[in-house]
Amino acid sequence: MGHNVLCVDNDSRKITMLSEGKCPIYEPGLEELIQRNMAEKRLNFTSDIARAVAESDVVFIAVPTPPQVDGSVDLSYIEEVSREIAESLTSSCGYKVIVDKSTVPVSTGSKVMQTIKTYASEGVDFDVVSNPEFLREGCAVSDLLHPDRIVIGSDSPRAMKVMKQVYQSFDAPILETDLHSAELIKHAANSFLALKISYINAVSAVCERSGADVELVAAGLGLDKRISSHFLRAGLGYGGSCFPKDVKGFIHISDALGVPFDLLKEVERINQRQMERFLNRIRERLWVLRNKKIAVWGLAFKQNTDDIRESVSIKLCRRMDEEQAIVRAYDPQAAANASRGLADTHVEICRDMYECVRDAEVLVIATEWEEFACADFGRVRELMHLPVIFDGRNLLEAESVVRAGFEYHSVGRRSAYPAKN
Ligand code: UDX
């Protein structure tokens, strides 16, 4: 968008990599974007927060806000970075807009403002703004550049004016709100999307019992514009670094405000039950899991990312490993992270999707990578010991895998079997 951007991180390893034009995570299109903007001298990286604050008109805070054991949001990184920004501010450095991009509980902005006032020298001129981020991993670049909406929450008209300049070349509606409403929009939006997923997953359980097909039911729901077809894909449940944390966070925030949000507690329960139901079905099919060879395709929490945080697939691998199944798993991008994440288990990470299925008694599809849908199932059939697929993401076409000789189990749909000769 033509702005000059100076990125700060206290992880010097990341800063070194980025300064060399290398992206520390797998995110389609991001490395090219970094390299292009570096070449055009608009994008730089540093560990020097004081320099970054001094040189900038707008300072975005984008630090993690992880969940604590009780589900509340850990705001210590926000507090720390607010203090560091405060200590970098001087009355001679001019007006600054401090923008919170991290997902934070409603009213955190006021605490950031108070913290900066407490630790900054006299006479500094600044405002605090909330500008929540809605991008999804795996399509972050496109989500960032083509957002459905841009939410800017501020109680200062001066700061609002600066923020509208920051976003002036974006072709998206800008919703202007007060500081606290913007903060709440993020938790409310993510929790609503998680609710949609749990809703269709609960429907998938009814479909399995009744013989209805959840894909058709979701299509019928999605055609109603008031419902929309987005986030109605039944599967193993939602994972990742946002939904599980944000639903928990919103439950905790509401509880703390004295307005318990029981609906969201059920959203969480349905999400947990979804994986358990799937595991039960695998167990029923194999009778006991002990010493059964199980291949798992997909370890990332979803496709097009190497992120395994709160990945349902990782949880599933752990559970099967605990029951002493012999689990071998493959993921096109998340293998390195999964090796670390599953280091305390017997799960073997394979480098090749076909090697992974050799002698397996079941193939579990746990992440919706495109390459799994395009696999050569004739070859997979030859390599496996038993031709059984459990598709946790409804990725495959039942008809074609059955034609390749497989028994096919998916979520919220009837199981399909090859014709007996
Ligand atoms: C989410 C929000 O979508 C995004 O707006 C916010 O900024 C960050 O959190 P992300 O966690 O990257 O993004 O992934 P998303 O695509 O939303 O998927 C989250 C989880 O839900 C994944 O595990 C995915 O597999 C699952 N999911 C998603 C479903 O099970 N069904 C669906 O229909 C959609």
pLDDT tens-digit readout, 126-136: 999 999 999 99
- Residue 421: predicted pLDDT: 62
Indicate if the pLDDT at residue 20 is higher than 90: yes
Strand ranges (E), 39-104: 43-46, 58-61, 96-100
Q: Region 331-335: what's the mean pLDDT?
A: 97
Confidence of residue 419 (pLDDT cuts 50, 70, 90): confident
Q: What is the mean pLDDT of residues 319-329?
A: 98
**What CA–CA distance (Å, rounded) separates 184 from 177?**
11
Q: What is the pLDDT of residues 152-191, one digit of tens each?
A: 999 999 999 999 999 999 999 999 999 999 999 999 999 9
Q: Is the minimum distance from the CB of 151 to ligand 1 under 6 angstroms?
A: no
Task: Evaluate if residue 71 carries a pLDDT over 90.
Answer: no
Q: What separation in angstroms does the CA of 316 have from each of 177, 194, 225, 369?
A: 41, 20, 35, 17
Q: Which residue has a Cα nearest atom 26 of ligand 1? A: 238
Which tokens in the block code for residue 309?
A: 């945080």
Say whether pLDDT at 310 is over 80: yes
pLDDT computed for residue 92 by the predictor: 87
Residue identified by tokens 């999707």 is: 353
190 touches ligand 1 (CB under 6 Å): yes
Distance, CA 105 to ligand 1 centroid (Å)? 20
pLDDT above 90: percentage of residues in the chain: 97
Taking Cα atoms as reference points, which of 216, 215, 221, 217 lies closest to residue 235? 215
Tell whether ligand 1 has an atom less than 6 A from the beta carbon of residue 155: no
Pocket test for ligand 1, best of 242, 275, 304 (most atoms within 8 A of CB): 242
Residue 242 alpha carbon, nearest atom of ligand 1? 9
Distance CA 129, CA 108 (A): 11
- Name the residue of 141, 185, 191, 193 to mutate for ligand 1: max ligand atoms within 8 A of Cβ: 193
Could you write out the DSSP letters of every residue in 87-140? HH--GGG--EEEEE-S---TTHHHHHHHHHHHHSPTT--EEEEE----PPTTSH
Lay out the sheet containing 362-365: strands in order across.
348-349, 326-330, 293-297, 362-365, 388-391, 407-409
In percent, how much of the chain has pLDDT > 70?
A: 100
Q: Following DSSP, what letter does each residue of 221-268 receive, concatenated?
A: HHTSTTT-STT---SS---SSSHHHHHHHHHHHHHHTT---HHHHHHH
Which residues participate in catalysis according to the annotation?
242
Checking if the pLDDT of 38 tops 90, the result is yes
Q: Ligand 1 within 6 A of 277 CB?
A: no
CB of 197 closer than 6 A to ligand 1? Answer: yes
Task: Say if ligand 1 is within 6 A of residue 243 CB.
Answer: yes
- Top mutation candidate among 139, 191, 238 for ligand 1, by most atoms within 8 Å of CB: 238
Average pLDDT score over residue span 401-407:
97
**CB of 297 closer than 6 A to ligand 1?**
no
Cβ-contact 364, 297 below 8 angstroms: yes
Angstrom distance (rounded) from CA 174 to CA 33? 24
Euclidean distance between the first and the last CA atom of the chain, given in angstroms as a whole number: 63
Give the closest residue (by CA) to ligand 1 atom 34.
231
136 alpha carbon – ligand 1 mean position (Å): 7
8 A C-beta contact, residue 31 and residue 46:
no
Three-class DSSP labels, 312-378: HHHHHHHHHHHCCCEEEEECCCCHHHHHHHCCCCCCEECCCHHHHHCCCCEEEECCCCHHHHCCCHH
Cα–Cα distance list, 179 to 128, 175, 269 (Å): 8, 12, 32
